[in-house]
Amino acid sequence: MPDAADGLPLVLLTNPIHPEAVERLEAHARVVVAPDTGFDTLRRLAADADGLIVRAQLPDDILDHAPGLRGLVRHGVGLDFVPLAAATARSIPVANLPGSNTRAVAEYVCAALLDLRRGLGRLDRSLRETGWLPAKTQANDRAEIGGSTLGILGLGEIGHAVARIATAGFGMRVLGTSRSPRTCDGLVEPVPIETLFEQSDAVVIACPLTPETRGLVGAGLIGRMRRDAVLINVARGPIVEAEPLADALEAGRIGGAALDVFAMQPLPAGHRLYACPNLLLTPHVAGTTATSLRTMGLGAADLMLAVLRGERPATVVNPEIYTA
């Protein structure tokens, strides 16, 4: 790795990225990977950074501690990890990677839906632990996905990809609610959010976290779900309120849920959700595959190098800084 004497810009990574991406960066910059994502650590390391590639939540005041920062690149899509308004006020470009993990997240949704409906992993464990006939009878109450109704809250890239798979792959009816009346090439029937929760056999949360969506899916909407309906959250944890969801699962008022994201990450040991029935928990990995990590890593490296060259990154999310 080049040392500081080379006079190369310094790029700070909140977390490791794909080795090929690091190699690409190191041809033009010094690269430092934060040893942890504690806010004090990130503030300290940002002091000398020219660029910051973000895979973890940044402290709101990170820019106060990074006087030489020339650009922020989100290793992914969601911008809630980044102090966007503060960066814009300082004319610091922020870029992300739209579409870079869309397929991975959409495939996760399908895998979670299949797990909740068919429960193959549970059948496997039952076969091994209790024998053939006890496991075989458990399949009698499993539901098929084909012909059922899927509701998607948020019709961006991920929502659109899920809708394509649901209609073409499973023959599902798809309902959708979003900030704009999108139909995703006619695949989705736009409906009010209350209707979506009332009529769907499965609800997928795929909207961004905003002040309007924080806590949006609470007791009111969960209470509208069908008794055998399932909920899948691949967006952000704070959109779904954990307590009313746990209440519904424990009381058997909904059929199940799959959560990849949580209001507090990592999910604390002993949290009530761990004991809930019919709940699939994963550690924020819906968009994580070997394929997507390479795509995001190389994309983030290219965007950062463009920033360091003084160019406007192709996917800048605050373009107004260039016209101010």
Residues annotated catalytic, as ranges: 284
- Per-residue tokens: 238: 């704070």
Q: What is the DSSP letter of 18?
A: -
Phi/psi-derived region of residue 206, left when phi > 0, alpha when psi is between -120 and 50, beta in every other case: alpha
Tell me the CB-side half-sphere exposure of residue 110, using CA atoms within 13 A: 20
**Calpha distance 202→226 (Å, rounded):** 9
Rg of the chain over CA atoms, in angstroms? Answer: 22
Q: Which of 37, 60, 116 is nearest to 280 (CA)?
A: 116
Distance between first and last Cα of the chain:
37
**Calpha distance 93→86 (Å, rounded):** 11
H runs (alpha helix) in 156-234? 157-170, 193-199, 219-222
